[in-house]
């Protein structure tokens, strides 16, 4: 009697982070992906040129069109995200702006949520408007308003989940369904989540963007961005990147590959640490409100539980008092460093009112939803007990 063969179990995310996208045997039998530090690539003869341009062989030609080290990073990220293809950029904003330029033209319309990253909204409202692109901003989580905002000329719905800085969680299935009903592409910046905590493509989202500078790199030592999705969509963006030249250098791609190998370990620890920090802050009398999707008090906690494996490493919270009170807290912290960015092994802390919105008045900041008392804490991989103890002593200054 013949025995049935069992279906192989797909590898877990940590295994994919270590091995995914990389050939088992590498150049010079190296265990690490080599850095191919070259701006241009030679051809054996003119026939090889013809074979390359007519698609009979795949190979590199010139650094602006790709690099072997870059290709490994792209394949690894595509495997992790469950995407057909990926394209690496010199920064997260390069990934966002090139994607928007590639998918939009004069007369097109975009729907964006109000809690998206400041520079993304700035690019949409200030730069793309000059080129005849129309933009509608809707509240994050208001799906009726989102669908009402869609027009005949709408080409994209763009958001983040979790959002920056308030950790709003979008119901990705609902966003994707709106896009399908109106034949509109959906794009999610999933930087805060990483593929370890959430894979938007599984919920029907068309394109996923990450700032690789953050969790993917994980050590605050590189700039990178990536867009992931179907081969057709990513291919169209790749064509524009070949013109604009917003490409990563080989060493940054190497550092990114190295960082991704420990991504699952780091994010799991940061999830746990952030949950501890959020729970401590939620029970402290000098804290007005905590914005963390792992807390039952978060307005989209149920959505987060349904579509995320972990709740992320960023905890935003509001202290009681004013701008000066929040500053006293930040200055009194001994473990986190005061700095922009997030996602590294080191904890970082900042006041968005001072770091990203310094040039605006209090009234102008409130119009875009940034309170003077808001603090954003990017939780690292330190011991959770130490992070909590440090916050406890710092809150004595509020």
Q: Which residues pair with 189 in a beta bridge?
A: 160, 209
For residue 245, how many other CB atoms are within 10 A of its CB? 12
At 133 the three-state DSSP class reads: coil
Read off the tokens for 73: 């990073």
Beta bridge partners of 319: 287
- Count, in order, helices (H) and strands (E) of the chain: 16, 12
Best CA proximity match to 74, nearest among 17, 132, 124, 21: 21
The token pair that represents 200 in the structure block: 């938007």
Annotated active-site residue 189? The verdict is yes
174 assigned to active site:
no
Contact 351, 371 (CB under 8 A): no
Per the annotation, the verdict on 183 as an active-site residue is no
Cα 39 off chain centre by: 28
Set 41, 64, 114, 145: catalytic member = 64
Among 268, 306, 241, CA closest to 102: 241
Q: Cα separation of 257 and 33, whole Å?
A: 8
Q: Which of 76, 185, 214, 371 is catalytic?
A: 214
Active-site pick, 85, 115, 171, 189: 189
Concerning whether 64 is annotated as a catalytic residue, the answer is yes
DSSP, collapsed to helix, strand or coil, labels residue 305 as helix
Residues 6+ apart with CB under 8 A from 234: 83, 84, 85, 86, 87, 207, 227, 228
Name the active-site residue from 71, 85, 115, 117.
117
Answer yes or no: are the C-beta atoms of 201 and 82 closer than 8 Å.
yes
* CA atoms of 75 and 83, how far apart (whole Å): 9
Residues designated catalytic: 64, 117, 189, 214
């Amino acid at each position: 009697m013949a025995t049935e063969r069992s279906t192989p179990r797909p590898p877990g995310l940590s295994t994919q982070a270590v091995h995914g996208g990389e050939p088992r045997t590498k150049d010079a039998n190296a265990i690490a992906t080599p850095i191919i530090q070259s701006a241009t690539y030679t051809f054996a003869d003119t026939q090889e040129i013809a074979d390359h341009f007519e698609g009979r062989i795949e190979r590199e030609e010139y650094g602006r069109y790709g690099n072997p080290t870059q290709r490994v990073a792209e394949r690894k990220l595509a495997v992790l995200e469950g995407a057909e293809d990926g394209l690496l950029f010199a920064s997260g904003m390069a990934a966002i702006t090139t994607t928007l330029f590639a998918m939009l033209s004069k007369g097109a319309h975009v729907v964006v949520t109000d809690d998206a990253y400041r520079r993304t909204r700035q690019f949409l409202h200030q730069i793309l408007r000059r080129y005849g692109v129309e933009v509608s901003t809707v509240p994050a989580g208001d799906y009726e308003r989102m669908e009402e905002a869609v027009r005949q000329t709408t080409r994209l719905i763009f958001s983040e989940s979790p959002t920056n800085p308030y950790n709003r969680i979008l119901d990705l299935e609902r966003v994707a369904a709106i896009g399908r009903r109106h034949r509109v592409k959906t794009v999610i910046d999933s930087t805060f989540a990483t593929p370890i905590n959430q894979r938007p493509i599984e919920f029907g989202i068309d394109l996923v963007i990450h700032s690789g500078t953050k969790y993917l790199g994980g050590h605050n030592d590189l700039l990178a961005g990536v867009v992931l999705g179907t081969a057709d969509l990513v291919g169209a963006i790749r064509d524009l990147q070949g013109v604009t030249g917003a490409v990563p250098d080989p060493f940054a791609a190497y550092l990114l590959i190295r960082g991704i190998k420990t991504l699952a370990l780091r994010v799991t620890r940061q999830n746990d640490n952030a949950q501890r920090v959020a729970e401590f802050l939620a029970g402290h009398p000098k804290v007005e409100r905590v914005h963390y999707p792992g807390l039952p008090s978060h307005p989209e906690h149920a959505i987060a539980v349904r579509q995320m494996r972990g709740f992320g490493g960023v905890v935003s919270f509001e202290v009681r008092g004013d701008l000066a009170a929040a500053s006293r807290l930040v200055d009194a912290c001994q473990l986190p460093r005061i700095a922009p960015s997030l996602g590294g092994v080191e904890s970082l802390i900042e006041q968005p009112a001072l770091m990203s919105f310094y040039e605006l008045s209090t009234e102008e900041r409130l119009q875009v939803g940034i309170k003077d008392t808001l603090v954003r804490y990017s939780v690292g991989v330190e011991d959770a007990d130490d992070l909590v103890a440090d916050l406890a002593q710092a809150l004595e200054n509020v």
